[in-house]
Amino acid sequence: MLKNKLPLFGLALLLSAAPSSWQPVYGRARALAAPRVNTLDGKARTRLNAALRELRKRGLRPRVNSTFRSQADQRAIYRCARSRRCRNRRGIYGANPPGSSLHEAGLAVDLGGIAAGRRKRRLTPKGRQTVRVMERHGFNWRYGLKDPAHFEISPQHAGYRSTQAAINAGQQRWRKAQQGKRGAPKTTQRKRQK
Protein backbone atom coordinates (compact mmCIF):
# COMPACT_ATOMS: atom_id res chain seq x y z
CA MET A 1 0.00 0.00 0.00
CA LEU A 2 1.37 3.40 -0.93
CA LYS A 3 1.17 5.60 2.11
CA ASN A 4 2.92 8.72 0.89
CA LYS A 5 1.98 10.91 -2.01
CA LEU A 6 4.88 10.58 -4.39
CA PRO A 7 5.95 13.31 -6.81
CA LEU A 8 4.48 12.90 -10.27
CA PHE A 9 7.64 11.65 -11.96
CA GLY A 10 9.03 9.99 -8.83
CA LEU A 11 6.39 7.28 -8.64
CA ALA A 12 7.46 3.68 -8.48
CA LEU A 13 6.28 1.80 -11.54
CA LEU A 14 2.66 1.04 -10.91
CA LEU A 15 0.42 -1.00 -13.06
CA SER A 16 -3.08 0.17 -13.80
CA ALA A 17 -4.17 -0.54 -10.26
CA ALA A 18 -5.67 1.28 -7.35
CA PRO A 19 -3.00 2.48 -4.91
CA SER A 20 -4.25 0.15 -2.19
CA SER A 21 -3.64 -2.97 -4.31
CA TRP A 22 -0.25 -2.07 -5.73
CA GLN A 23 2.46 -4.70 -5.69
CA PRO A 24 5.42 -5.15 -8.03
CA VAL A 25 4.55 -7.60 -10.78
CA TYR A 26 8.05 -8.41 -11.89
CA GLY A 27 8.89 -11.25 -9.50
CA ARG A 28 12.21 -11.81 -7.78
CA ALA A 29 11.66 -8.50 -5.97
CA ARG A 30 12.61 -6.68 -9.15
CA ALA A 31 10.61 -3.50 -8.76
CA LEU A 32 11.42 -0.88 -11.34
CA ALA A 33 12.33 2.73 -10.81
CA ALA A 34 10.12 5.67 -11.64
CA PRO A 35 8.02 5.55 -14.79
CA ARG A 36 10.54 6.03 -17.53
CA VAL A 37 9.38 9.43 -18.74
CA ASN A 38 12.88 10.30 -19.99
CA THR A 39 12.89 7.23 -22.23
CA LEU A 40 9.64 8.21 -23.94
CA ASP A 41 9.85 9.25 -27.56
CA GLY A 42 10.68 12.98 -27.68
CA LYS A 43 7.33 13.96 -29.20
CA ALA A 44 5.40 11.84 -26.70
CA ARG A 45 7.35 13.31 -23.77
CA THR A 46 6.69 16.88 -24.96
CA ARG A 47 2.96 16.19 -25.44
CA LEU A 48 2.68 14.38 -22.09
CA ASN A 49 4.36 17.24 -20.23
CA ALA A 50 2.03 19.76 -21.91
CA ALA A 51 -1.02 17.66 -21.06
CA LEU A 52 0.09 17.26 -17.44
CA ARG A 53 0.63 21.04 -17.15
CA GLU A 54 -2.89 21.65 -18.43
CA LEU A 55 -4.33 19.05 -16.06
CA ARG A 56 -2.53 20.66 -13.11
CA LYS A 57 -3.99 24.06 -14.09
CA ARG A 58 -7.42 22.43 -13.88
CA GLY A 59 -6.61 21.09 -10.42
CA LEU A 60 -6.14 17.48 -11.55
CA ARG A 61 -3.10 15.38 -10.66
CA PRO A 62 -3.39 12.00 -12.41
CA ARG A 63 -0.99 9.24 -11.36
CA VAL A 64 1.48 8.31 -14.08
CA ASN A 65 1.44 4.53 -13.64
CA SER A 66 3.49 3.38 -16.60
CA THR A 67 5.27 4.88 -19.59
CA PHE A 68 8.11 3.20 -21.47
CA ARG A 69 8.65 -0.56 -21.00
CA SER A 70 11.54 -2.71 -22.07
CA GLN A 71 10.64 -5.95 -23.83
CA ALA A 72 11.41 -7.87 -20.61
CA ASP A 73 8.99 -5.64 -18.69
CA GLN A 74 6.31 -6.09 -21.36
CA ARG A 75 6.82 -9.87 -21.29
CA ALA A 76 6.31 -9.93 -17.49
CA ILE A 77 3.17 -7.80 -17.67
CA TYR A 78 1.78 -9.86 -20.55
CA ARG A 79 2.40 -13.07 -18.60
CA CYS A 80 0.60 -11.61 -15.60
CA ALA A 81 -2.30 -10.34 -17.71
CA ARG A 82 -2.89 -13.87 -19.00
CA SER A 83 -3.28 -15.23 -15.47
CA ARG A 84 -6.65 -14.35 -13.93
CA ARG A 85 -5.26 -14.55 -10.40
CA CYS A 86 -2.27 -12.28 -11.14
CA ARG A 87 -4.37 -9.88 -13.24
CA ASN A 88 -6.99 -9.46 -10.51
CA ARG A 89 -4.47 -9.17 -7.70
CA ARG A 90 -2.41 -6.57 -9.57
CA GLY A 91 -5.32 -4.72 -11.16
CA ILE A 92 -4.08 -5.12 -14.74
CA TYR A 93 -6.69 -4.51 -17.43
CA GLY A 94 -4.77 -6.27 -20.17
CA ALA A 95 -1.46 -6.25 -22.01
CA ASN A 96 -0.29 -6.77 -25.57
CA PRO A 97 2.29 -9.45 -26.32
CA PRO A 98 5.94 -8.34 -26.26
CA GLY A 99 6.95 -6.70 -29.52
CA SER A 100 3.52 -5.20 -30.18
CA SER A 101 2.91 -2.65 -27.41
CA LEU A 102 3.39 1.06 -27.97
CA HIS A 103 4.77 1.20 -24.42
CA GLU A 104 7.85 -0.50 -25.88
CA ALA A 105 8.10 2.32 -28.41
CA GLY A 106 7.80 5.02 -25.77
CA LEU A 107 4.56 6.25 -27.33
CA ALA A 108 2.10 5.13 -24.62
CA VAL A 109 1.33 6.15 -21.06
CA ASP A 110 -0.98 4.69 -18.41
CA LEU A 111 -2.67 7.10 -16.02
CA GLY A 112 -4.51 6.13 -12.85
CA GLY A 113 -7.85 7.44 -11.62
CA ILE A 114 -9.58 7.46 -15.01
CA ALA A 115 -12.32 4.93 -14.25
CA ALA A 116 -14.09 3.39 -11.28
CA GLY A 117 -15.83 0.06 -10.79
CA ARG A 118 -14.61 -3.44 -11.43
CA ARG A 119 -17.34 -5.13 -13.43
CA LYS A 120 -19.18 -2.06 -14.68
CA ARG A 121 -16.45 0.45 -15.33
CA ARG A 122 -17.39 4.07 -15.71
CA LEU A 123 -15.38 7.22 -16.19
CA THR A 124 -14.91 9.31 -13.09
CA PRO A 125 -15.62 13.04 -13.49
CA LYS A 126 -11.87 13.70 -13.27
CA GLY A 127 -11.28 10.85 -15.70
CA ARG A 128 -13.63 12.44 -18.23
CA GLN A 129 -11.65 15.69 -18.07
CA THR A 130 -8.35 13.81 -18.27
CA VAL A 131 -9.45 11.93 -21.41
CA ARG A 132 -10.46 15.20 -23.11
CA VAL A 133 -7.15 16.91 -22.24
CA MET A 134 -5.03 13.91 -23.28
CA GLU A 135 -6.88 13.66 -26.61
CA ARG A 136 -6.42 17.39 -27.18
CA HIS A 137 -2.67 16.83 -26.80
CA GLY A 138 -2.60 14.04 -29.39
CA PHE A 139 -3.06 10.96 -27.20
CA ASN A 140 -5.62 8.44 -28.39
CA TRP A 141 -7.75 6.71 -25.71
CA ARG A 142 -7.58 3.60 -27.89
CA TYR A 143 -9.17 0.91 -25.71
CA GLY A 144 -11.72 3.07 -23.89
CA LEU A 145 -13.14 1.43 -20.78
CA LYS A 146 -11.54 -1.94 -21.66
CA ASP A 147 -8.21 -0.41 -20.58
CA PRO A 148 -9.13 3.06 -19.28
CA ALA A 149 -5.61 3.89 -18.07
CA HIS A 150 -4.02 3.56 -21.54
CA PHE A 151 -3.30 6.53 -23.81
CA GLU A 152 -1.09 6.40 -26.89
CA ILE A 153 0.23 8.45 -29.78
CA SER A 154 0.05 6.99 -33.26
CA PRO A 155 3.50 5.96 -34.54
CA GLN A 156 2.74 7.76 -37.82
CA HIS A 157 2.01 11.03 -35.95
CA ALA A 158 5.33 10.62 -34.15
CA GLY A 159 7.16 10.26 -37.48
CA TYR A 160 7.56 6.47 -37.76
CA ARG A 161 6.56 4.38 -40.77
CA SER A 162 5.09 1.58 -38.68
CA THR A 163 4.46 0.35 -35.16
CA GLN A 164 7.39 -2.05 -35.49
CA ALA A 165 9.76 0.75 -36.54
CA ALA A 166 8.65 2.77 -33.51
CA ILE A 167 9.17 -0.19 -31.16
CA ASN A 168 12.63 -0.86 -32.61
CA ALA A 169 13.59 2.79 -32.11
CA GLY A 170 12.24 2.79 -28.54
CA GLN A 171 14.12 -0.35 -27.59
CA GLN A 172 17.32 1.01 -29.16
CA ARG A 173 16.92 4.23 -27.14
CA TRP A 174 16.52 2.12 -24.00
CA ARG A 175 19.65 0.05 -24.71
CA LYS A 176 21.69 3.21 -25.27
CA ALA A 177 20.41 4.70 -22.02
CA GLN A 178 21.34 1.52 -20.15
CA GLN A 179 24.81 1.45 -21.67
CA GLY A 180 25.31 5.08 -20.68
CA LYS A 181 24.40 4.26 -17.07
CA ARG A 182 26.89 1.43 -16.89
CA GLY A 183 29.68 3.48 -18.42
CA ALA A 184 32.50 2.15 -20.48
CA PRO A 185 33.75 -1.27 -19.48
CA LYS A 186 36.93 -1.22 -17.46
CA THR A 187 39.92 -2.80 -19.04
CA THR A 188 42.66 -4.26 -16.97
CA GLN A 189 45.94 -5.39 -18.27
CA ARG A 190 48.08 -7.84 -16.45
CA LYS A 191 51.73 -7.18 -16.50
CA ARG A 192 53.74 -10.06 -17.67
CA GLN A 193 56.44 -11.11 -15.36
CA LYS A 194 59.59 -12.43 -16.88
Which of the residue ranges 29-38, 57-66, 145-154, 163-172 would you say has the lowest mean pLDDT? 29-38
Percentages helix, strand, coil for the chain (3-state, rounded to 5) are 40, 10, 50
- What digits encode the pLDDT tens for the residues 149-183? 999 999 999 999 999 999 999 999 989 888 877 76
* In the predicted structure, residue 139 carries a pLDDT above the cut 80: yes
For residue 172, give the amino acid letter. Q
Residue of 1 and 63 predicted with greater confidence: 63
User: Which pLDDT does position 183 carry in this prediction?
Assistant: 64
Average model confidence (pLDDT) for the chain? Answer: 78
Closest CA to 73 of 154, 174, 184, 173: 174
Q: Where are the alpha helices (DSSP H) in the chain?
A: 42-57, 71-81, 84-90, 125-136, 163-182
| The model's pTM | 0.74
Quickly state the pLDDT bin for 17 (edges 50, 70, 90): very low
Per the CB < 8 A criterion, the answer to whether 67 and 14 are in contact is: no
**Highest mean pLDDT: which range of 17-21, 59-63, 178-182:** 59-63
Q: Strand 108-111 to strand 64-66: parallel, antiparallel, or no bridges (unpaired)?
A: antiparallel
- What digits encode the pLDDT tens for the residues 71-109? 999 999 899 888 888 877 777 778 899 999 999 999 999
3-state secondary structure of 109: strand
- Report angle CA 35, 39, 44 to the nearest 5 degrees: 95
